[in-house]
Amino acid sequence: MTEAASVDPETDPPNLAVTLDEAASWRDEQVGAYRQLTDSADRAGVSETLVQALLRQSGPLASTLGTWLQGMSAPGVFEDEVHLRILALFADDIGVGGPRSSRYDAFKVVATQHGCPELAVEADELAAERLVRDHMFALPAALYAISRRSDVFAPVITGIDVLLRSVGMLPCWEGLRGSEGAPAMWARLDLARSTGATDIADPLDVSRDVAEKFGATGEATRRQVAFGAAWMLDALRSWNELLLDEAGAALHPRRAMEQLIRERAREGAVYHQNFRMSGGDTLSELLERAKTDPGPLLKELAATRMVKPGNAERSSLVNGLIGPKGPMFRVFSADDVEVISKWIDSLADSEPEPALQPPTKVPSAPASGVLDRMTEDGVVPADIREAYFVLQGRALAPATRDFALRYVKRWLGQAKRSLGRRERSLPEQWTPAGLRPWLLDMHDEHGAEFETGRSGDMPTREQVIDETLQLAPLTLIDGSWLQGFTDAGLATTRYGFPLFETYWDELGNGEIELNHPRIYRDVLREMGIELAPTGSREFAYDTRFREESLARPVYWLCLGKLPHTFMPEILGMNLAMELSGVGGSYRTARRFLKHYGFSTHFVDLHNTIDNVSTGHSAWAADAIDTHMRTMSKLSTPAECAAEWERVRIGYESLAPLPSSTIADRIGDRFLSTPWKPRSQGGSLFHHAPVGVS
């Protein structure tokens, strides 16, 4: 096997169109190779062995399907049309609108139906599957790593995406898809075809358009897009060669036995120093050599009295030494024993098996000058405006993460003091009956308050405009507290999928016309207010915003970047936010806006999609109930009560009550001007909307 060529975007800039053509040709060629392999396996009566081997070894890459896009959405690009299309591609890949509906979940169904239920696990659990070779994790690990640094790799990621969608279905799966069972699930593994979860008709066309628009922003970016595609093709070729090698090992008993010996040689070499083989070497010495060359040991082993060539059942190696009463019982698993038995049975065959090939180059992450930024410690914002600007991006460098943690903890500390101080707090205890009854009670109260206050004083036109302006830093990052739920591992869970769907709704389901921040800007323009892009420094330092108008938005931005650390608090805050205006304040705001001739589209939209029956408020309550039911099954009553308190504090954190002591009030000012910088470091990279510098 030949090593895949490396790609240098500076000295040897690839051509994207040529790379995509090469990918199509390579796919067709490899599909043919896999079909020949499956035909050969059918004739030999080992088709099930081949299918399971291919599914098992391709499982880690299957777990990444679409996830390279999971970090591309960030507040700074909430209104960027190209990034909205990227989010649409990702939403389609993970099957937005339902739990366990991603492309990887389809793979799990296929694997289970073909006798590999052990593959139907979360992506991180695949690492525990011993039968999956270590080198089959290299490319998936690189893709996961790249997805975590979309601030650096955004153009590269678009190149990776268009290449993989040009390939469509991996050749190994295309060669197997004729197998019986789950045809619809097989189809969901094709990245060029929509899963039906969104209105995307042709993911490949969308991906090509995204790559073209990125490339049109400048020569350097164009090269990075083309580099991403070229690197992905090289890496895919290398990965595919490894997979073919694994398939060959599964079909040829000697190859499989060599792999087993090589894997177990290290632990075995510790023993057997006194067991001398016929060639003069001790078994321990042969095992030491077998770490790289298992051939001599197999030759010696086959010549011993423990092996009856062609008859594993009569071989004492199987039914004695490693059998239930043997001295090496349980040293080998049932799968290992099957490999050993097939090897012994094959020793009677006269036809030689293909020699064990040296491993091909294991694909690794792209190496280029863009990686230089990864050594940065990040920025500790000096004031609230810098914090708003720095947190617009997706990545969170160590120093900035430390700032975000302290900011959230300080905010939640104030929220905890609000518990029990108002009637609308969440119930003191969670019960299996869930939150729906409480939700309806709150909605009734909102409606009653609106009716009571209908004849209240009308604010002045200037007051309505100022209120709308001061809410802009918050509203233009609508949904930012949920950005962590674009991680595929959260977006497809029972409690996480409604939160991703809420996020997806807030950004307009991939359509700029439905994008909530864009709709809010339209209202501002009616009022004669034009603002800079939300992700720009100019926006954060716009003196028309009072600093206190940035405190809560910064909390949202911090919270959205820490979904695992503050999971229960996010669940609670999300419910508070989605319920806050339904039936009451949205209708009041509508009355004020309509009175002065401004569009009511934004508040009308939220009063409907946030409804308590089938809208965001209902989804938020259901997500909490799902999480708490899981907790109640896995935790003690005390642990469950502590988790519920965190949810309640999160609910209060949307609008904590003012502090009641002088000491608290002195501390609260730091929520507006958080902390002085400990180190300046380099500035964080922020997602820049395509076409905007």
Tokens of 403: 């700032």
Q: Are residues 219 and 268 in the same domain?
A: no
Tokens of 451: 């009716």
Tokens of 341: 């038995």
pLDDT the model gives residue 455:
54
pLDDT the model gives residue 338:
85
**Mean pLDDT, rounded, for 3-14:** 57
Identify the band that residue 367 occupies on the pLDDT scale cut at 50, 70 and 90: low
Residue 1 maps to a domain: no
Of 189, 208, 226, at which residue does a domain stop?
Answer: 226
Least-confidence region, from 162-166, 242-246, 316-320, 524-528: 316-320
Identify the band that residue 669 occupies on the pLDDT scale cut at 50, 70 and 90: very low
**Mean pLDDT, rounded, for 319-343:** 84
How far is it, in rounded angstroms, from Cα 156 to Cα 133? 27
Least-confidence region, from 9-13, 105-109, 185-189, 431-435: 9-13
pLDDT the model gives residue 365:
63
Q: Are residues 542 and 486 in the same domain?
A: yes
**Mean pLDDT, rounded, for 636-653:** 96
Kindly write down the DSSP assignment for every residue of 450-511, as one continuous string.
Answer: HHHHTTSPPPPHHHHHHHHHHTHHHHTTTTGGGGGGGSHHHHTSTTTHHHHHHHHHHTTTT-
Kindly write down the DSSP assignment for every residue of 113-154, as one continuous string.
Answer: HTT-GGG-S-GGGGGG-TTS-GGGGHHHHHHHHHHHTHHHHH
Average pLDDT, the chain: 86
Of 211, 226, 241, at which residue does a domain stop?
Answer: 226
Q: What is the pLDDT of residues 44-76, one digit of tens each?
A: 778 888 999 999 999 999 999 999 999 999 999
DSSP state of 315: -
Q: Are residues 327 and 284 in the same domain?
A: yes
φ/ψ of residue 228, rounded to 5: -60, -45
CB distance 48 to 115 below 8 Å: yes
pLDDT the model gives residue 111:
94
Q: Are residues 493 and 567 in the same domain?
A: yes
Tokens of 288: 């030491």
Residue 247 maps to a domain: no
> HSE-up of 370 (CA within 13 Å, CB side)?
24
pLDDT the model gives residue 56:
95
Identify the band that residue 6 occupies on the pLDDT scale cut at 50, 70 and 90: low
Instruction: Name the 3-class secondary structure at 276.
Output: strand
Q: Are residues 175 and 298 in the same domain?
A: no
Q: Are residues 564 and 651 in the same domain?
A: yes
How far is it, in rounded angstroms, from Cα 11 to Cα 142? 23
Q: Are residues 95 and 163 in the same domain?
A: yes
Give whole-number Cα distances, 493 to 71, 92, 286, 623, 678, in Å: 17, 16, 49, 10, 38
Catalogue the E-assigned strands of 54-213: none
φ/ψ of residue 276, rounded to 5: -95, 130
Domain that holds residue 269: 255-346
Distance linking the first and last C-alpha atoms of the chain: 45
pLDDT the model gives residue 679:
32
Q: What is the pLDDT of residues 223-276, one digit of tens each?
A: 999 999 999 999 999 999 999 988 888 888 888 888 888 888 898 888 888 888
**Mean pLDDT, rounded, for 19-28:** 96
Beta bridge partners of residue 282, listed in sequence order = 276
Indicate the number of domains in the chain: 3
Q: Are residues 485 and 565 in the same domain?
A: yes
How far is it, in rounded angstroms, from Cα 58 to Cα 242? 10
Residues near 638 by beta carbon (within 8 Å), at least 6 away in sequence: none
pLDDT the model gives residue 115:
92
Has this prediction a pTM greater than 0.85?
Answer: yes
Tokens of 545: 């915003």
Instruction: Name the 3-class secondary structure at 177.
Output: coil
Q: What is the pLDDT of residues 390-434, one digit of tens each?
A: 999 988 899 999 999 999 999 999 999 989 887 788 999 999 999
Q: 684 pLDDT exceeds 60? A: no
Residue 538 maps to a domain: yes
Least-confidence region, from 103-107, 342-346, 586-590: 586-590
CB distance 547 to 672 below 8 Å: yes
Residue 682 maps to a domain: no
Q: 321 pLDDT exceeds 90? A: no
Q: What is the pLDDT of residues 431-459, one digit of tens each?
A: 999 999 999 888 888 778 777 766 567 89
**Mean pLDDT, rounded, for 321-326:** 80
**Mean pLDDT, rounded, for 566-578:** 96
Instruction: Name the 3-class secondary structure at 133.
Output: coil
Instruction: Name the 3-class secondary structure at 110.
Output: helix
CATH number, residue 665: 1.20.910.10
Amino acid sitting at position 327: P
Q: 682 pLDDT exceeds 50? A: no
How far is it, in rounded angstroms, from Cα 344 to Cα 336? 13
Q: Are residues 311 and 397 in the same domain?
A: no
How far is it, in rounded angstroms, from Cα 152 to Cα 685? 7
Residue 293 maps to a domain: yes
Long-range contact set of residues 186-189: C-beta below 8 Å, sequence gap at least 24: 186/106, 186/110, 188/103, 188/106, 189/62, 189/65, 189/103, 189/106, 189/107, 189/110
Residues near 175 by beta carbon (within 8 Å), at least 6 away in sequence: 31, 33, 34, 35, 37, 38, 54
Q: Are residues 20 and 166 in the same domain?
A: yes
pLDDT the model gives residue 149:
92
Q: Are residues 508 and 651 in the same domain?
A: yes
Please, what's the largest Cα pairwise distance for the chain? 103
Q: 582 pLDDT exceeds 90? A: no
Residue 212 maps to a domain: yes
How far is it, in rounded angstroms, from Cα 275 to Cα 282? 5
Nearest Cα to Cα of residue 189 among 174, 178, 200 = 174
φ/ψ of residue 282, rounded to 5: -75, 160
Tokens of 607: 């009063």
Residue 93 maps to a domain: yes
How far is it, in rounded angstroms, from Cα 14 to Cα 7? 8
Give whole-number Cα distances, 411 to 553, 569, 593, in Å: 12, 11, 31
| Residue 125, Ramachandran bin (φ over 0: left; ψ between -120 and 50: alpha; else beta) | alpha
- Cβ-based neighbour number of residue 521 at 10 Å: 20
Q: Are residues 481 and 611 in the same domain?
A: yes
Least-confidence region, from 4-18, 28-42, 159-173, 199-213: 4-18
> HSE-up of 101 (CA within 13 Å, CB side)?
21
Residue 153 maps to a domain: yes
